[in-house]
Structure formats: structure tokens, C-alpha cells
Amino acid sequence: MKKFIYKIIDTRDVETAGLFKSRKREDVEAYLCSLGAQGWELVNVDFRELEGGLEFAGVMKREIN
């Protein structure tokens, strides 16, 4: 039987170089790609795009070997 670990992610986890700490789509995509490269899979997400910025909360999982 496969076993998984889970990780809760949200907007605060995304690093950004923006002056006002606004997360852009590219910032979020880069963050999710970095987690994917570590073996995490996005299984649930709630995105909200507000005035060019992006907020989200989600759940990721990774199989335990």
C-alpha cells in the first residue's frame, strides 16, 4: 500500500522581489515548479487573483518510499 505525507501551502510561502510583496502569477508558478521538482504533487488549490496579485491556499502530497 502506498503511503503519503501532506503539506499545506499558501501565499505566504511564495518568495517575491516585489516592493509591496505582491505575488505575481510567475512567482506562484516558480514556487509550485520547485515543489514539483522535489516530488510534491498539488492535489487541491484555491486561487484568488486580485488586482494583478495572486493569493492561494492548497494541499500537496508526496509519496513516502
In the chain, domain spans = 3-64
Report the pLDDT value the prediction gives residue 54, as an integer from 0 to 100.
Answer: 73
Report the pLDDT value the prediction gives residue 20, as an integer from 0 to 100.
Answer: 56
Cell triple for 22: 505582491
Give the pLDDT of the chain (65 residues) as one tens digit per residue: 999 999 999 988 888 766 556 677 788 888 899 999 999 999 999 988 777 677 889 999 999 98
For domain 3-64, the CATH architecture is 2-Layer Sandwich (3.30)
Report the pLDDT value the prediction gives residue 16, as an integer from 0 to 100.
Answer: 72
